[in-house]
């Protein structure tokens, strides 16, 4: 019994000492909360009934520079989402304790959007901010994901989006028969594993 009590005490001491290590002691890590606001785009000039209003239920997916999915969540009724993040510091910015992540946004009735370089803790306030405008699905035009902060070929973007959507087990949106291309990914996660 004494050995067991000593073991528990030792584990407690080790845990307490490691729990006291702060992010100040780990300069390679950045801790912040990413705040995302999602609204419909006013372009193209297609009438959107809720134009300008926030999009509820949009899925936000955050990926680090190593390709690891850091988290996913849905926007609330105000079109807002918050995700706490711990990310490796970006060495490209040696004067700042900041990081950069990729954010994928998907919502029913809209094409996907990817922002490849979202700054985290850029102003040393432990936040990241992103405003996303999603384009409504339109049967009269090619429905493809939009993206910012990159000059990638569209097929490269498709492959990357498909990889993460399948990894998270997202489902495709149900779209009208008028849209001949492949349907955009939606925010719903498939419940079964098949």
Domains, the chain, ordered by start: 27-181 (2.60.40.10)
0.95 cut: is pTM over it? no
Tokens of 163: 């990889």
Q: What is the pLDDT of residue 194?
A: 55
Q: What is the biggest distance separating any 2 CA atoms in the chain, rounded to whole angstroms? A: 76
Give 86's Cβ-side CA count (13 Å radius): 7
Q: Mean pLDDT in each 10-residue stretch from start to end of the chain (194 residues)? A: 59 52 71 95 53 88 95 96 95 94 96 95 95 89 85 90 95 74 86 68
Contact assessment for residue 106 and residue 58, using Cβ atoms and an 8 Å cutoff: yes
Tallying the residues shown for the chain, one arrives at 194
Give 24's Cβ-side CA count (13 Å radius): 1
Contact assessment for residue 164 and residue 147, using Cβ atoms and an 8 Å cutoff: no
Instruction: Give the model confidence (pLDDT) of 171-190 as tens digits.
Output: 999 877 666 567 899 999 98
Q: Which residue in 143, 149, 135 sits closest to 179, CA to CA?
A: 143
Cα–chain center distance at 86: 13
């Amino acid at each position: 019994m004494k050995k067991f009590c000593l073991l528990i005490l030792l584990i407690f001491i080790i845990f307490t000492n490691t729990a006291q290590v702060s992010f100040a002691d780990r300069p390679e890590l950045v801790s912040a909360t990413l705040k995302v606001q999602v609204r419909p785009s006013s372009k193209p000039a297609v009438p959107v009934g809720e134009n300008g209003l926030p999009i509820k239920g949009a899925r936000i997916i955050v990926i680090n520079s190593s390709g690891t999915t850091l988290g996913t969540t849905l926007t609330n009724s105000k079109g807002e989402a918050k995700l706490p993040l711990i990310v490796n510091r970006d060495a490209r910015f040696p004067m700042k304790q900041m990081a950069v992540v990729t954010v994928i946004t998907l919502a029913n009735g809209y094409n996907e959007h990817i922002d490849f370089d979202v700054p985290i803790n850029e102003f040393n306030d432990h936040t990241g901010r992103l405003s996303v405008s999603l384009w409504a699905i339109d049967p009269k035009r090619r429905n493809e994901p939009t993206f910012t902060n990159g000059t990638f070929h569209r097929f490269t973007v498709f492959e990357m989006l498909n990889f993460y959507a399948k990894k998270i087990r997202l489902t495709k949106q149900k779209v009208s028969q008028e849209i001949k291309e492949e349907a955009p990914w939606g925010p719903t996660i498939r419940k079964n594993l098949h």
